[in-house]
Amino acid sequence: MRPDDTDVKRGAMDHNHRRGFTTGVAAAAAVIMAASAAGCSGPPDADPVAQRLAAALQSGEWGDAPWTGATGEEVAAAVEEITSGMGESSLSVEVSDVRDAGDDQRAAELQLAWDVGGETWEYTSTAALVLVDDAWQVEWDPAIIHPDLVPDARLAASRQPAERGDILGADGAAIVTERPVYRVGIDKTRIPAAEVESAARKLAAVVDVDADGLADRAEAAGPEAFVEAITLREADAVPVLSAVDEIDGAVALEDTLALAPTREFARPILGTVGEATAEIIEESDGAVEPGDIVGLSGLQQQYEEQLRGTPGITVEIVPPEGEPTTVYETEPQPGADVSTTLDPDLQTRAEQVLADVGPPSAITVVQPSTGAVLAAASGPGSDGYSTATLGQYAPGSTFKIVTSLALLRAGLTADTSVNCTPTVTVDGRSFENYDDYPSSSLGEIPLRTAVAESCNTALIDQHDTVSQAQLAQAAEALGIGTQADIGAPAFLGDVPAEAGATAHAASMIGQGEVLASPLAMATMAASVAAGSTVVPKLVDGAEPAAATPQAPLTSAEADVLRELMYAVVSEGSATFLGDVPGERVGAKTGTAEYGSEDPPRTHAWMVAIQGDLAVAVFVEDGESGSRTAGPLLSEFLSQ
């Protein structure tokens, strides 16, 4: 933070937050009343006056009290001045004792407890009660509020921000941590008021922000305000620092902010931090104050309470002259780190592969052996949306892995002959293969070939072999459609258990009402590689366990599914992956039509397994799985 942050916040508490006490002179008699002693043989009981004093201290409703040494109006004004620096702090007061202090005097011992920023500050003070005209009166003294207060001194509370926790990657290294930034803006104390608008517009042109908006904010701010235009990472700031320095009134203040390695790095998932909004402050129940830096989106917002820690509290007595004296202090407690499963190298690689993709896109990587989400990259065309984990799209022919599992359970094998025809009609609706389907693979072919070449008609022709419910069960066995908590918002797919004839036929090739995210399809591939149902996890400490599938995936079934995926590379629509270095690659291409255009637009998909990696690649608008998603997958696996 800036070196002067503490002073700025203290000033804000001193002058802007005066809610601890309220001047209410009109309520006097109802708050502190003198006990009548007329006709009694001795002094009246002082306890009721002490109790009403405690109630007045707590409520701030002073009224026309029987003070001695000051009027009620003077006491109310003095207390407001003394406590004005306590900000949003609240006070509770109890009378612990009222003792005889000599002729016509009593001493009321008070227990005061302040709630200061969620911390409790307790101490004891004493109020002197004197008997005047057979009634007790309270002798005004600032020491009633705190025993160390003297006339014209006041209490002032300030907060010291806690060190924010980091967000860690799979290797335990910090991927979001405090990094150098520059806060660039207009310092109105450095230029005449008449030059503020011009300076703001010049600065806006240098740092590429809205000139009208910055100029309006700068002119509306107070005469001593710093009006921030933008916060820049150090690397982004260096090229413009000299230009900023040439503008009278413009400054670039060094600071730090919780940031990922790059602006793009997993941004839709990790989220951002920034100054707390009015809504966040209101909903925090006093935990967040104006000027605090908080999570605004993503994991930064979701785990805000864990990450932000507990601010330190300092309460000082500020004398009219001389140095303040600290009377209460707590140390800031740093926030706790949030550990994720993201692999920084794989995440960066995925984002680099997607850097030039125009439509919304994603590459998601799941580790079959653990379910860890190693990468969840969404391309620039996603405009900040986490397509990788939240996208809902028809998965197209990548879903044929699910259909194949359902057919295996119905008795088919990889060698079972199925009929691949140019078209097939179900309940009046005609389905066909993709335009480039090889004619040499038409006719009676093994299921292995039908999957390898991605024959739509062969699998749709089997729609009577498996029901929609059995298809949904097979999807669940491969991790699609589960309700697992991965530690962040995610969509793991939806496969209806019921569907009409044509919708069921479309489901056989991953269309109709079937929906999945890239994360869901990577999870499907991971389950095939692992030989059992994989439940993905993104944040350590989350409870990812999903309900046990009705019919869990068996290792024998997974062996056949892997054989089918390997055949896609060795003899089918993904032979271009045959030269990828490293362990053997299994894959499945996918193209899903959508929309009402003629010809329809298409989603491009590919999934792959290699060693302990399962990958899904998606482009919202593409030519086909092999032509659009395929090169991206090949580039990713080849690096």
Q: What is the pLDDT of residues 48-71, one digit of tens each?
A: 999 989 998 988 887 656 788 888
The answer as to whether 431 is a domain residue is yes
Determine the pLDDT at residue 407: 98
Decide the pairing of beta strands 250-259 and 174-187: antiparallel
pLDDT tens track for 301-347: 999 999 999 999 999 999 999 999 999 999 999 999 999 999 999 99
Residue 422 has pLDDT above 90, yes or no: yes
CB proximity list for 123: less than 8 A, separation 6 or greater: 112, 146, 147, 327
Residue 14 has pLDDT above 60, yes or no: no
573, part of any domain: yes
619: enclosing H helix or E strand:
strand 613-619
Distance CA 168, CA 353 (A): 23
Helices H, strands E: what count in the chain? 22, 24
Q: Decide if 524 is inside a domain.
A: yes
> Domain ends where: 134, 160, 186?
160
Query: What pLDDT does 544 receive?
Result: 64
In a domain, 478, yes or no: yes
Predicted confidence at residue 358, as pLDDT, reads 97
Q: CA gyration radius for the chain?
A: 35
- Residues 505-522 have a mean pLDDT of 97
* C-alpha span between 39 and 532 (Å, rounded): 93
| Structure-block tokens of residue 138 | 């309270």
Residue 109 lies in a domain: yes
Q: What is the CA angle 86-90-94, rounded to 5? A: 120
Measure the CA–CA gap between 469 and 471, rounded to whole angstroms: 5
- What's the rounded Cα separation, in Å, for the pair 141 and 410? 90
What is the average pLDDT across 535-562?
88
In a domain, 602, yes or no: yes
Determine how many CB atoms are found less than 10 A away from the CB of residue 133: 9
Distance (Å, rounded) from C-alpha 297 to C-alpha 113? 36
**pTM (2 decimals)?**
0.83
Could you give the CA distance from residue 562 to residue 607 in angstroms, rounded to a whole number?
Answer: 12
Kindly state whether residue 190 falls inside one of the protein's structural domains.
no
- How many Å apart are CA 515 and CA 517, to the nearest integer? 7
Q: Is the pLDDT of residue 24 over 50?
A: no
Q: What is the pLDDT of residue 238?
A: 95
pLDDT value at residue 72: 81
> What letters, b where the CB count within 10 A reaches 16 and e where it falls short, cover 458-471?
bbbbbbebbbbbbb
Distance CA 363, CA 375 (A): 7
Residue 507 reports pLDDT greater than 90: yes
- CA 575 – CA 438 distance, rounded (Å): 14
Give the dihedral of Cα atoms 379, 383, 388, 392; nearest 10 deg: -130
- Answer yes or no: is 87 within a domain: yes
Average pLDDT for the chain: 91
Q: What is the CATH number of the domain that holds 439?
A: 3.40.710.10
CA dist 513 and 499 (Å) reads 8
Give residue-wise pLDDT tens across range 267-313. Answer: 999 999 998 999 998 898 878 888 889 999 999 999 999 999 999 99
pLDDT in tens, 104-159: 899 999 999 999 988 899 999 999 999 998 899 999 999 999 999 999 999 999 99
Last residue in a domain, options 140, 160, 180: 160
Give residue 480's domain range.
Answer: 393-623
Which of 141, 160, 179 is the last residue before a domain boundary?
160
Return the pLDDT at 117. Answer: 83
Q: What is the mean pLDDT of residues 412-422?
A: 97
Structurally, the chain folds into a number of domains equal to: 2
Q: How far is CA 637 from CA 21, 567, 577, 633, in A?
A: 66, 18, 9, 6
% residues pLDDT > 90 (the chain): 80
pLDDT-derived band at 596, boundaries 50, 70, 90: confident
Alpha-helix runs per DSSP H in 431-583: 447-453, 456-460, 468-477, 501-507, 518-530, 555-571
Average pLDDT, integer, range 421-442: 94
Q: What is the CATH number of the domain that holds 127?
A: 3.10.450
Beta strand residue intervals within 267-367, DSSP E? 273-275, 293-295, 312-318, 325-330, 338-339, 361-366
Please give the average per-residue pLDDT across 376-405, as a whole number. 98
Nearest one of 232, 113, 129, 248 to 180, comparing CA atoms: 232
Residue-wise pLDDT tens digits, 150-195? 999 999 999 998 999 999 999 898 999 999 999 999 999 999 999 9
Structure-block tokens of residue 563: 């054989």
More confident residue, 102 or 183: 183
Element (H, E) at 175: strand 174-187
